[in-house]
A and B are shown apart, each in its own frame.
Chain A
Amino acid sequence: MTLERWFRRKKPTKGDDDSSPVGLWLKCESCNAQIYRKDLVANLYVCPECQHHYQMPVDARLELLLDEGSFEQWSGHIQATDPLEFVDQEAYADKLKAAQEKHHRKDAIVTGSGLLNGLPVALSVMDFFFLGGSMGSVVGEEIARAVERAADEDRAFIAVTASGGARMQEGALSLMQMAKTTVALERLAEKHLPFISLLTDPTTGGTTASFATLGDIIIAEPKALICFAGPRVIQQTIKQELPEGFQRSEFLLEKGMLDDVLERSKLKDKFAAYIRLLSGKVPQVTLEAEHVATL
């Protein structure tokens, strides 16, 4: 269940004798503990009792990873056009418009620049609440533009993923975003700039099978579902139960697919360490200081 739906619940989750008002108290979907909603938010959307990591809204994610006041938004200047005039039980154009109004953004992604412990970075953060974080032409283009601008501005790039995969309402064009985001990354690679991929719950399908798994360093949050084919699809194919923890971060770490699984609170400092180490030398200031000391 998504966190958003959890918050939207009409009826409060409560014990028999609990008369707390709607939404103020929540029952952890992992450990069943009663949590005060404000505590959960203050704890980076991680259950204070069992450390279960809930999906994190985009704004909170930016706040988590960037130095205060340093974020400059790049995305938001393009929007989808419904090239297929796709209609299922509802028109894609209507669905898209509703999502734009509800989430106050053009599509399922935010990109921009900022400082991470003083280091210049650019990042893209997918919004799972916006049509399941699906990747269509706009998401693909925003990522490509952000990666290229990061390369031009000598910034490390961080991609935070949360996505149901390619946006099927844009047909083969959304499939092509897998190749588009991949070729855009070449600019970054040519300048030897670090690309850190942070996989959060859930990251699936075409997103996993493209830029998300091309990070120089690939990190996942605890117990995130990360896969190509979703558990239901696999179950239909093999007609048997899936093992416990299958396709979760810890399982993938064991299989050699990730560099590490990190708790949310540790991400920023770890990322800073990776970027510093990948730059190949200790920061300039320290070098000069050492030079002076030896004179």
Chain B
Amino acid sequence: MSLPFEKPIDDLEAKITDMRSYAEEQGIDLSEEIGLLERRLEQLKRDTFANITRWQRVQVARIAGRPTGLDYVANVFTDFEELHGDRTLGDDPALVTGLARLGEQTVIVMAQQKGRDTKENILRNFGMMHPSGYRKAMRMFDLADKFRLPIIAMVDTPGAYPGLSAEEQGQAWVISECIQRMSRLKVPAISLVIGEGGSGGALAIAVANRVLILENAIYSVISPESCAAIRWRDSSEAPQAAEALKLTAYDLLDLNVVDRVIDEPLGGAHKEVDATMAIVKSVLLQELGDLLKLDEVSLLEQRRARFRALGRFEEVLEAA
């Protein structure tokens, strides 16, 4: 999978492949020329991704083939046992939850799951949770507190589902409740934005002690398309809206919205999935190790203070 802005990279890669097979067929030595092109390719990749625009990041964050929540569950964790259902309304496939081990430690893992193909996308509602999904998350928070198991939450959603049934079942109520419930956890909680962190639907499982984000993931109050539709009255202005929203990993680090950016392999997580999984695993192990040193009260206070402090404003001298 590649994006329009990656075309020069694809072209050069194709050229190298052609040259290799030509050299092989003809039995001639082109290693010097190939080596030269490979160095050029490396440089081109580095330049392309060093100058990537925010809109291009959005595209990388959403690209087909980018590892999904379940890929992380399968490769970063062991002994995964999925647990279903919210005990009230049903089971929301847009949020996968269960028990697993991260290294030696049992954890409760939850992952917003987009589809890896059209069929799964429909099953998973494109990663857009219904109220039932947030109830399932809260059930997992209860389980986590009871058995003193840390929470690891993978965020990847365009947003909470904006539909008729979701509204009837109190989408807003369940999101606020989920935010509150997560903020009250007595155990360590880490949230990792792996793709798209879409608004309140993402935040509901991201009220964590540590909020991490992959280099090419985004986290925003509104999608660039919807923002463009409202502010520019034209959703095709999404690239501009993406710039204005400052929604990339490093933007969010500057704003203290996230605590740490996890670098991805050059070209994005999908280019070298195994390497991505290894980096994520080592970061999660280290972060969790740090949090496990804190007691219940410190964890609660740290999490509360973290979110209480967010925002930018200035004091004015006289009252309005």
**Which residues of A come within 8 Å of B, CB atoms?**
73, 75-81, 83-84, 86-89, 100, 104-106, 136-138, 140-141, 144, 166, 168-180, 182-186, 205-206, 208-214, 226-229, 233-234, 237-238, 242, 246-247, 255-257
Contacts and interface: CB of A to CB of B under 8 A. Distances in A.
B255 A228 contact: no
Contact of A171 (B184, B245, B303): B245
Interface string B124-163: 0000000000000000000000000000000000001111
A183 B207 CA distance: 10
Given A84-B245, A208-B172, A175 B203 contact: yes
A138 B148 CA distance: 36
For A84, A87, A100, A242, the residue with the greatest tally of chain B CB atoms inside 10 Å of its CB is A84
A176 B307 contact: yes
A172 B221 contact: yes
18 contacts: A76-B319, A77-B319, A83-B255, A88-B241, A106-B316, A140-B311, A168-B221, A171-B221, A179-B179, A179-B310, A180-B308, A180-B311, A185-B180, A186-B184, A209-B160, A209-B172, A228-B171, A233-B226
A76 B176 contact: no
A213 B172 contact: yes
B307 A168 contact: no
B290 interface: no
A83 B310 CA distance: 12
B221 A141 contact: no
A178 B203 contact: yes
B255 A227 contact: no
Interface of B: 160-164, 166-173, 175-177, 179-180, 183-184, 199-200, 203, 207, 219-222, 226-227, 230-232, 240-241, 244-247, 251-252, 255, 257, 303-304, 307-308, 310-316, 319-320
Contacts of B240: 88
A184 B308 contact: yes
A86 B222 CA distance: 14
Contacts of A86: 244-245
Given A183-B183, A228-B175, A247-B167, A172 B308 contact: no
A60 to B, nearest CB: 18
Given A168-B245, A171-B247, A183-B304, 12 more contacts: A75-B320, A77-B315, A78-B313, A88-B240, A137-B313, A173-B257, A173-B310, A175-B203, A177-B310, A182-B207, A209-B176, A226-B172
Contacts of B227: 168
Contact of B179 (A84, A89, A170, A210): A210
B220 A234 contact: no
B311 A175 contact: no
Contact of B316 (A79, A168, A172, A208): A79
B304 A186 contact: yes
Contacts of B245: 84, 86, 168, 171-172
A176 B310 contact: yes
Contacts of B183: 179, 182-183, 186
Contact of A168 (B167, B172, B222, B304): B222
Contacts of A211: 176
Contacts of A206: 199-200, 221
Given A78-B314, A105-B320, A171-B220, A237 B176 contact: no
Nearest to A103: B320
Pairs A-B, 8 closest by C-beta atoms: A229-B162, A137-B311, A76-B320, A208-B172, A88-B231, A228-B172, A176-B310, A83-B312
Given A173-B311, A182-B176, A209-B176, A229 B171 contact: yes
A229 B231 CA distance: 17
Contacts of B164: 234, 238, 242, 246
Nearest to B171: A228
Contacts of A100: 320
B95 to A, nearest CB: 16
B231 A80 contact: no
A89 B232 contact: yes
B304 A214 contact: no
A81 B319 CA distance: 17
A183 B171 contact: no
Contacts of A104: 320
Contacts of B166: 228-229
A206 to B, nearest CB: 6
Contacts of B203: 175-176, 178-179
B163 A175 contact: no
A2 to B, nearest CB: 17
Given A89-B231, A184-B308, A237 B163 contact: yes
Given A78-B313, A172-B220, A228 B163 contact: no
Contacts of B304: 183, 186
A211 B183 CA distance: 13
A168 B23 CA distance: 56
A175 B311 CA distance: 9
Contacts of B251: 171
Contact of A178 (B173, B200, B313): B200
A100 B230 CA distance: 22
A238 B163 contact: yes
A172 B179 contact: no
Given A76-B320, A84-B246, A174 B172 contact: no
A210 B183 CA distance: 12
